[in-house]
Structure 1
Amino acid sequence: MSEGIGAAAERDRRCSWCGRVKPATAFHRMGVGRRRSRCTDCHAATRTRTPGKCYPETLEGQRERKLRARYGMTGKQYEMLVGAQEGRCAVCGKVPSRLVVDHCHRTGRVRGLVCDGCNIKIGAYESSRAEVEAFLAKCGNGHPVMGY
């Protein structure tokens, strides 16, 4: 290869993560004449959010951080809710594979833990509450045209 623009970028390089020397093609491009400092293997490993150099946070730490940021609660409080509800959805009473935090979008207050299906139903109902309540008030026991 002739020495020119980008020639240095195409030489073998050392990965900043694993320290191995690899061909330039083992590093993702970052524009003209530039490549990432980590090889594709190391870059892929850090993108899966495995605990390590780039993402030291554990899965428990991520859950704790998200619970505090989104709902103002700790992991211990979440586990207390699971225990109080006996692992059941607060709406349908089923024992799902996971429970999500249901909260009021206006006030931010936590209402309980629900399964994914009930969480979707609650969200759909809340977004069109007035229309649903008007319909039920008008036709709750049957449509007037049907005669019952």
Structure 2
Amino acid sequence: MTSTTRSTTLTAPVQQALDEAIGLRSCRRCKETKAETKFPKSKKRDGTGRERTCTDCRNAKRRQEGQSTQRRKAETREQRQKRRLWEDYRLTPEQLEALREAQGNRCAMCGHEPGDGKKLHVDHCHTTRVVRALLCQTCNNAVGFYERYAAAAVQYLAVYGDGNPLLKQVPGTTRAAWPTTRQMPLIPSQGPLPTSSKAGEST
């Protein structure tokens, strides 16, 4: 009689439960299985009392973040602007200057030059990250509002464009139909209003 041995592959949750039962854990960063004592203690109420990242990986990450912070603190203003320009828009200072010269240092939307102490801002699509043009602060904010609330604005004007219907004169009287809260037409909410972008940021 021949016996057949079946190989069983444990699923990740089952393997994790078995490891924890014998005092082992798998690090979610390096993926290595180590003793529980190699993981920092945690105050999370997950029943384990240990972090999911091992001490070695946690310390390595902290060293990397510390080095990055030190490098940024040592940056000059020009170096910081160059780094942020590349990180945010994948533009070099030379490309930014070329755009500014091509637009004659004027906003691509309203055509005005920035005032004293002000500058044009890089406008880009937040979905595709594609850089579009340079805009003044006002137009930059306006494009952001338009992209988010254009549909709501059309609905609003359709209801209130000719005046508030509840404030129009009641037929046969000389008084206006003053509205109550329940009578006021409501426009569907489009989410919270976007905050004004800081100097140098764009929509």
Q: What does residue 127 of structure 1 align with?
A: 148
* C-alpha displacement of 1:143: 2.8
| Residues in 2 aligned to 1:64 and 1:57: alpha-carbon distance in whole angstroms | 10
TM-score by length of 1: 0.54
2:162 is matched with which residue: 119, 140, 143?
143
The equivalent position to 1:109 in structure 2, one of 130, 144, 150, is 130
> Which of the numbers 92, 95, 108 marks the counterpart of 1:90?
108
In the alignment, structure 1 segments of 5+ residues that lack a partner are: 1-52
Report how far residue 111 of structure 1 moved.
0.7
**Contact 2:120-2:134 at 8 Å conserved across structures:** yes
Q: Aligned equivalents of 1:104 and 1:143: distance in 2? A: 34
Cα distance change of structure 1 residues 123 and 59 upon mapping to structure 2, 3 Å threshold = same
Does residue 71 (structure 1) correspond to residue 89 (structure 2)? The answer is yes
For 2:112, what is the secondary structure of its paired residue?
coil
User: Quick one: distance in 1 between partners of 2:113 and 2:77?
Assistant: 23
TM-score, length-scaled by structure 2: 0.40
Please identify the structure whose Cα radius of gyration is greater: 2
Q: Please state how far the C-alpha of 1:133 moved relative to its aligned partner.
A: 4.0
Question: What is the deviation of 1:115?
Answer: 0.6
Other-structure match for 1:11: none
Query: What is the RMSD computed on CA atoms of the aligned residues?
Result: 2.5
Q: Paired residues, what number?
A: 92
What residue in structure 1 maps to residue 120 of structure 2? Answer: 99
Find the residue that maps to 2:138 and give its secondary structure. Answer: helix
Which of 71, 80, 83 aligns to 2:98? It is 80
| Secondary structure in structure 2 of the residue aligned to 1:87 | coil
Q: Determine if contact 2:107/2:113 at 8 Å carries over to the other structure.
A: yes
User: Identity of counterpart residues, as a percentage?
Assistant: 41
Which deviates the most, 94-103 or 56-65?
56-65
The amino acid that maps onto 2:141 is I
The whole-number CA distance in structure 1 between the counterparts of 2:100 and 2:91 is: 13
Q: What SS class does the counterpart of residue 73 from structure 2 fall into?
A: coil
Q: CA deviation at 1:135?
A: 4.8
Distance apart, 1:124 and its partner CA: 1.3
Deviation per CA, 1:42-95, whole angstroms, max 9, x where unpaired? xxxxxxxxxxx9833222211111110001111111000000000001111100
- Alpha-carbon distance in structure 1 between the residues aligned to 2:89 and 2:101: 18
